Amino acid sequence: MHDRRFWLLFGVSLLVRVVLMPLPEPIDFDLAYFLFPWMNFSPGRSLVELYLHGEPVVNYPPFFVTILWGLGKLYALLVPTLEKTPVQMALVKLPTVLADMATGVALYLAAGQMERRLGRTSRLPLLAAGLWLLNPAVIYVSTIWGQFDAVHTLWMMAALLAATNKRWGWSGLFMGLALLTKAQALTLIPLLALLAWWSDGRALARWGVVAAVTLAAGLLPLWIGGAGQSLVQIYIKAVGYYPAMSMNAYNPWFIAHIRTRELLGYWVEDSTALLGPITIRQVGMALVAGYALLLFAVLLRRWRAPSHEPSPQAEAAQQIGAYFVAGLLTFGFFMLATEMHERYILPALAPLALVAALHRPALAPYLLLSLTAFLNLIHVLPVTRDQIALMETLPDIRFLISGVNTALFIWWTWLFVRGKKKLSGW
């Protein structure tokens, strides 16, 4: 952390975000329809009241909602009228910007740790952090869109970093916080459980207990206060809340979503039976499960315990494999499951940034994935109002982006499956 180059990168990245934070949404979107109403509801009311009576209905777990509730009270002290100002714009984006920066630090530390284990120094840790901190898709979600995907991405990365260092209690704590922030963090649970089990049974128990206690500590106060039904809706019924094949995530389901609408004249929900009683949603989840099993099978084959103490190079290779699988699990969820939003690709960009920095063949697909993710975002929430009129005059490239994402998904999977056990093969 004494690298001046890193702090220069950190400062420039933070400055970009600080400049963009006060800017309003290009058009009324999530801030106007969800985050600001919840924030403005908070003064004079409890968190439980926000879950029970907030408009629109609060459909997120309590970690970020609690922060938003606190920010609402703070803003009421600064601007009692609660009118929309640049201060409110910056304030609501502050947690996600801080999460962005912390994730960059985590990537720098993780890559540097691997470098030290290999007994060498290079600029690769700087590259790993830069691929995240200067990523236009990451910056756009946090500082223009104002959504908090970066927050649960930070907890997921922290849980993974702790697990690869065998800090199972800390990993469980961060995993619990990730689940308290967004239900999509569930995608990382099988990998972290596998890492703990591979270490020993006590590690798995310690990780699981701490994660469960953290989750319970965040949920019980709301449950006791009377918001239990809301929590059930958030976690148990998250799947099916938006029953579309794709919620603007440019993946194969998006093509099917639009084409069926053009052919049939109505939107086909993912609860529609596709093969006998099997629904489209269930097909998507089966694809996600099958893909995860493929990744774990490859990973376990490479992690056969040697008869002697593993070398630093072998340990570094195992760590890179864990980050690789973490990124692919999230990427696979985005590509194969139905009901995906465009922002759900963001957690994949953090661990894959580390892979792209340490494994040269992964750099090109990472840059392309960042580009398609950014294009997906600005097609859903345009950068400016003028862009809306401009897009109407240009060819529709949404299917092209969906196709490129599919090719990138295959490319990334191929890079992982063909990799060798040695670090040089990753």
pLDDT band at 91 (very low <50, low <70, confident <90, very high): very high
Instruction: For residues 85 and 87, give the distance between their C-alpha atoms in angstroms, rounded to a whole number.
Output: 5
The pLDDT tens digits of the residues spanning 98-143 come to 999 999 999 999 999 888 776 666 789 999 999 999 999 999 999 9
Instruction: For residues 25 and 32, give the distance between their C-alpha atoms in angstroms, rounded to a whole number.
Output: 8
Q: Which residue has the higher pLDDT, 425 or 148?
A: 148
- Count of C-beta atoms within a 10 Å radius of residue 192: 27
Give pLDDT, residue 421: 43
Q: Is the pLDDT of residue 316 over 80?
A: no
- Residue 119's φ and ψ, nearest 5 degrees, are 70, 35
Closest CA to 380 of 256, 262, 246: 246
Closest CA to 238 of 373, 376, 341: 341
Is there a contact between 348 and 331 (Cβ–Cβ < 8 Å)? yes
pLDDT band at 422 (very low <50, low <70, confident <90, very high): very low
Is there a contact between 88 and 36 (Cβ–Cβ < 8 Å)? yes
Give pLDDT, residue 306: 53
Instruction: For residues 256 and 406, give the distance between their C-alpha atoms in angstroms, rounded to a whole number.
Output: 13
Q: Where is mean pLDDT largest: 59-63, 229-233, 325-329?
A: 325-329
- Tell me which of 289-298, 312-321, 327-336, 356-365 is least confident: 312-321
pLDDT band at 424 (very low <50, low <70, confident <90, very high): very low
Strand partners, 273: 279
Mean pLDDT of the chain: 91
From first CA to last CA, the distance across the chain in angstroms is: 26
Percent of the chain with pLDDT over 70: 95
- Residue 266's φ and ψ, nearest 5 degrees, are -150, 160
Instruction: For residues 237 and 79, give the distance between their C-alpha atoms in angstroms, rounded to a whole number.
Output: 37
Rounded to whole angstroms, what are the CA distances from 219 to 133, 225, 227, 241?
32, 10, 9, 20
Provide the whole-model pTM.
0.94
Residues in the chain: 426
The pLDDT tens digits of the residues spanning 288-312 come to 999 999 999 999 888 775 544 566 6
Give pLDDT, residue 329: 98
Q: Is the pLDDT of residue 412 over 50?
A: yes
Is there a contact between 13 and 101 (Cβ–Cβ < 8 Å)? yes
Percent of the chain with pLDDT over 90: 78
pLDDT band at 425 (very low <50, low <70, confident <90, very high): very low
Give pLDDT, residue 199: 86
Is there a contact between 332 and 409 (Cβ–Cβ < 8 Å)? yes
Instruction: For residues 143 and 24, give the distance between their C-alpha atoms in angstroms, rounded to a whole number.
Output: 10
Task: Please report how the helices 312-336 and 189-199 are oriented relative to each other, as an axis angle in degrees rounded to 10.
Answer: 160
Mean pLDDT, residues 316-341 taken together: 94
Mean pLDDT, residues 55-60 taken together: 91
The pLDDT tens digits of the residues spanning 145-200 come to 999 999 999 999 999 999 999 999 999 999 999 999 999 999 999 999 999 998 88
Residue found by looking up tokens 């284990």 in the block: 117
